[in-house]
Amino acid sequence: MKLEITQTAIEKLNEIPEGNMIQLSLDRGSCDIVNNIYEMKVVKRRSPEPQEKIIHSEHLEFIVDDDFEDTYDHELTIDYRNHFFVFKNKNQIFNNRIGLRYV
């Protein structure tokens, strides 16, 4: 998967304390295919479950569902604007109000 993180998002994500990772879990109950992630969860670093995998980008670790890449056509840019994260690719903005929650 091509996962890009903009400089503004990197600056915000670098505030996460050492020993943690970012979990991106799809909301299976959502009927909206492009807005099915509402928050990024900061969790303690762990090994992935059988249905998960880890994606590395910009020295950050993301733990995602196996089908995460398919949902975003294997291309995602994470940006940070107006106090929210924005998920987009070259064709569209998927969600522009994603929060960050410590679990």
Task: Name which of 5, 12, 24 is nearest 103 in CA terms.
Answer: 24
CA max distance for the chain:
36
Who contacts 78 (Cβ-Cβ below 8 Å, separation ≥6)?
A: 3, 4, 5, 6, 9, 85, 86, 87
Say if residues 5 and 57 touch (Cβ distance below 8 Å): yes
pLDDT at residue 34 in the model: 53
Domain of residue 23, CATH code? 2.60.300.12
pLDDT tens, position by position, 89-100: 888 888 889 999
pLDDT, averaged across the chain: 89
Stated pTM of the model = 0.89
Report the alpha-carbon angle 100-57-6, nearest 5.
Answer: 65
pLDDT above 60 (res 33) = no
pLDDT at residue 17, as a whole number: 96
59 or 71: whose pLDDT is higher?
59
Range of the domain at 63: 2-102
Question: Between residues 19 and 95, which one has the greater pLDDT?
Answer: 19
Domain count for the chain? 1
Look at residue 35 and tell me whether its pLDDT is greater than 90: no
Assess whether pLDDT exceeds 60 at residue 31: no
